[in-house]
Amino acid sequence: MYAVIVGGGKVGANVGRALLRMGHEVSIVEARPSRFATLEAEFEHMARYGDGTEVFVLESAGMARADVCIAVTGDDEDNIIIGQVARDHFGVENVVARVNDPRNQEHFDLLGVAPTVCATESILSLIEHEVPQHSLVHLFSLRRENLDIMEIGVVGESRADGLTVGDLPMPAGTLLISVLRRRVGRVATPDTVLEAGDQVVVIAEPGQESALMEIFARE
Amino acid sequence: MFVVVVGCGRVGAQVARRLVDDGHDVNVIDRNAEALQRLGGDFPGEFVQGPALETTVLEAAGVERADAFVAATNGDNTNLVIAQVARDRYQVDCVIVRVLDPARAALYEQKGLVTVCPTRTAIDSMSDALRVFAASGAEGA
């Protein structure tokens, strides 16, 4: 696989190293002269100097034959344009983009640059997972597939408390996939009986949160 | 009509002034507060200070009810992103984008944006002026 990485900071360089270890071919495009010099010392001809939002720079980096474009500069507007140019002009099928400011996530979604990775959002969802403030925690969003994976605590005296998984009145567009009890996770079977204190992992289409809370969290 | 102009530099500020002189309502966005001075003290529209990538800033300037939107910051990519946001999210009918890089201007023109590329204009004017001179037969005279 050939990957063109645009943005050679910590994220870009480490993604490059990892892909090389996995046996892939990479180019890393970097616009800052001093950072480029550092990259060139390590990556040699695989490091390319230039503004990765310029079409001719992407062209000379071989974007036209790239299997994946990884847009990980520190500027969200640049990452959006790199993603669009890679996809629409060079016909790259897979684009992965970094969101620096989570407030810009909606622009990536609107302009069709997906999937995206946002460090702030990842840290927040890890905090939520470790120290839940609510009984429903979003673990992961499959944006392109329009699905969310979430973890929900089973509250005592809720409708779910004491029911088997098979008897749960799950809303359409949701599926319970596993039950975590005392930190041990198991793939759910219809016979599994839910107890207060369990955590269930559910995959759902968007907008099902309140229906799910009615079943698992409302006393 | 009501127009939102983003970027209050040499270009944006003069476009805003001209529209006001023609009798239109204009609000202006710029990330720097000092840019307001370019509009002159009697500018009747609102000036919103902040980064135009933020929807709260665009909305404070009234993008939701704008008839036209001008993206004229000094960043090509910022202009291209906010222009698409104005068109696709806020359904602004007329969106005009300044793009300095001719290659990106051409790409996004194909995608239906109205782009103005000062670089391309300069290249055309300069080479036309030189062609006129060459055709006049005055060279080497």
- Residue B17 within any structural domain of the chain: yes
* B2-6, strands of its sheet edge to edge: B47-49, B25-30, B2-6, B68-71, B94-98, B114-116
Q: Please write the tens of the pLDDT for every residue from B87-137.
A: 999 999 999 999 999 999 999 999 889 999 999 999 999 999 999 999 988
pLDDT tier at A124, thresholds 50, 70, 90: confident
A76 contacts in B (CB within 8 Å)?
53, 81
CA atoms of A70 and A28, how far apart (whole Å): 9
Does the beta-carbon distance from B77 to A80 stay under 8 Å? yes
The pLDDT score that the predictor gives to residue B77 is: 97
CATH 3.30.70.1450 positions along chain A are: 125-216
Of B59 and A206, which is predicted with more confidence?
Answer: B59
Q: What DSSP string describes chain B?
A: -EEEEE--SHHHHHHHHHHHHTT-EEEEEESSGGGGGGG-TT--S-EEES-TTSHHHHHHTTGGG-SEEEE--S-HHHHHHHHHHHHHTS--SEEEEE-S-HHHHHHHHHTT-EEE-HHHHHHHHHHHHHHHHHHTT-TT-
Nearest by CB to residue A77, choosing from B78, B88, B111, is B78
- Residue B140 within any structural domain of the chain: no
A135 neighbors A200 (Cβ within 8 angstroms):
no
What's the one-letter identity of residue B98? R
A81 neighbors B81 (Cβ within 8 angstroms):
yes
Instruction: Establish if A89 touches chain B: CB-CB under 8 angstroms.
Output: yes
Nearest by CB to residue B84, choosing from A75, A85, A111, is A111
pLDDT tier at A167, thresholds 50, 70, 90: very high
- The mean pLDDT value for A23-33 works out to 97
Q: Please write the tens of the pLDDT for every residue from B50-81.
A: 999 999 999 999 999 999 999 999 999 999 99
ipTM: 0.89
- For residue B120, the domain's CATH number is 3.40.50.720
- The mean pLDDT value for A160-165 works out to 92
Instruction: Establish if B109 touches chain A: CB-CB under 8 angstroms.
Output: no
- The mean pLDDT value for A43-48 works out to 97
CA atoms of A50 and A47, how far apart (whole Å): 10
- The mean pLDDT value for A182-199 works out to 90
Does the beta-carbon distance from A53 to B89 stay under 8 Å? no
Nearest by CB to residue A53, choosing from B53, B77, B85, is B77
The pLDDT score that the predictor gives to residue A168 is: 93
Checking if the pLDDT of B141 tops 70, the result is: no
pTM here is: 0.82
Give the gap in angstroms from C-alpha B50 to the nearest C-alpha of chain A. Answer: 14
Domain count for chain B: 1
> Which run of H or E residues covers position A177?
strand A174-181
A57 contacts in B (CB within 8 Å)?
none
pLDDT tier at A47, thresholds 50, 70, 90: very high
- What are the C-alpha distances in Å from B134 to residues A10, B126, B138? 53, 12, 7
Mapping DSSP to helix (H, G, I), strand (E, B) and coil, where does residue A185 land? strand
CATH 3.40.50.720 positions along chain A are: 2-117
Helices (H), A23-154: 33-43, 55-60, 76-84, 105-110, 119-130
Domain boundaries, position B63: 2-135
Instruction: Establish if B44 touches chain A: CB-CB under 8 angstroms.
Output: no
Instruction: Establish if B81 touches chain A: CB-CB under 8 angstroms.
Output: yes
Does the beta-carbon distance from B107 to A88 stay under 8 Å? yes
Does the beta-carbon distance from A53 to B103 stay under 8 Å? no
Instruction: Establish if A71 touches chain B: CB-CB under 8 angstroms.
Output: no
Could you tell me the two tokens for A178? 């596993």
A88 contacts in B (CB within 8 Å)?
107, 111
Could you tell me the two tokens for A53? 């939002």
What's the one-letter identity of residue A3? A
Give one word for B59, left, alpha or beta, with left for phi > 0 and alpha for psi -120 to 50.
alpha
CATH of A125-216, one of 3.40.50.170, 3.30.300.20, 3.30.70.1450, 3.40.640.10: 3.30.70.1450
CATH number, span A2-117: 3.40.50.720
Checking if the pLDDT of A158 tops 80, the result is: yes
- Residue B141 within any structural domain of the chain: no
Checking if the pLDDT of B140 tops 80, the result is: no
The pLDDT score that the predictor gives to residue A137 is: 84
The pLDDT score that the predictor gives to residue A164 is: 93
